[in-house]
Amino acid sequence: NAGVMQNPRHLVRRRGQEARLRCSPMKGHSHVYWYRQLPEEGLKFMVYLQKENIIDESGMPKERFSAEFPKEGPSILRIQQVVRGDSAAYFCASSPKSKETEAFFGQGTRLTVV
Amino acid sequence: AQTVTQSQPEMSVQEAETVTLSCTYDTSENNYYLFWYKQPPSRQMILVIRQEAYKQQNATENRFSVNFQKAAKSFSLKISDSQLGDTAMYFCAFSGGSNYKLTFGKGTLLTVNP
């Protein structure tokens, strides 16, 4: 049973480009959470999704960031027109239901904006 | 809003000795969960131990145990018989009544010396 899979592990983008981060939840998990870790900081909640629904996006910046979790395929975190301040590690977690006590994290995607 | 504070940015311990990492939190909720996560250099977020606030008994997992003081809002992690593989960042995290959003502290970098 594969764990939460995130790809790519490392992503380099120039300022102004788009970044797409993918997360495949564990088998049987229908809930996905995205967190961002800035350098020297803990993880900060961004968004919580169920299949085809955004449940809570209170931690998402209002502009340039979007997330989806389609009926088929991985969850996508999309950052448009990236800026240097977007450089961070982005983590995805999944759970079988709305219980973070059963959430498992992926290995993260490190985004570097140059 | 909940906050989690880890007052020790870095700690070190000799192999086979015991070390305690501190964590305090602030919340007005009565039912919540507390967690310790380990983040080794691989960056994977690994759940070490969790505690349910309504349980008075302190959680233990092999060499890892917690000292949960609900009135003082304190949740420290004790690592016994430290091993070189315990070297990592350790994050304390809180989840309240909403039960899906984790709030993390800034972390403590633990180094186990041979």
Residue A86, classed as helix, strand or coil, is helix
Place of tokens 């498992």: A104
Residue B2, pLDDT above cutoff 90: no
According to the model, what pLDDT value does residue B55 have?
87
Chain A interface includes B106 (CB < 8 A):
yes
CA distance B112 to B63: 14
Residue B98, pLDDT above cutoff 80: no
Which of chain A's residues have a Cβ under 8 Å away from the Cβ of B44? Answer: 105, 107-108
Instruction: Give the bridge partners for B75, in sequence order.
Output: B68
Q: What is the pLDDT of residues B30-79, one digit of tens each?
A: 889 999 999 998 888 999 999 999 888 999 999 999 999 999 999 999 99
- pLDDT > 90 fraction of chain A, expressed in percent and rounded: 77
- Dig out the tokens for A110 from the structure: 């490190």
Q: Please tell me which of the candidates B45, B95, B106 has its beta carbon nearest to residue A91.
A: B45
Which of chain A's residues have a Cβ under 8 Å away from the Cβ of B4? Answer: 42
> CA angle, A17 as apex, A37 and A32 as ends, to 5°?
40
Average pLDDT of chain A to the nearest whole number: 92
Q: What residue of B is the nearest CA neighbor of A55?
A: B100
**Residue A60's pLDDT band (cuts 50, 70, 90):** very high
Chain A interface includes B33 (CB < 8 A):
yes
Q: Which residues contact residue B7 at a Cβ distance below 8 angstroms, ignoring those fewer than 6 apart?
A: B22, B24
CA distance A70 to B109: 37
Q: Which residues contact residue B59 at a Cβ distance below 8 angstroms, ignoring those fewer than 6 apart?
A: B49, B50, B51, B65, B66, B68
Q: What residue of A is the nearest CA neighbor of B32?
A: A101
Whether residues A101 and B50 touch (CB distance < 8 A) is answered with: yes
Q: What residue of B is the nearest CA neighbor of A3?
A: B44
According to the model, what pLDDT value does residue B30 have?
84
Average pLDDT of chain B to the nearest whole number: 93
Helix/strand/coil (H/E/C) assignment for every residue in A17-71: CCEEEEEECCCCCCEEEEEEECCCCCEEEEEEEECCEEEECCCCCCCCEEEECCC
A vs B, Cβ pairs < 8 A, gives 61
According to the model, what pLDDT value does residue A98 have?
56
Q: What is the pLDDT of residues A87-109, one digit of tens each?
A: 999 999 998 875 556 688 999 99
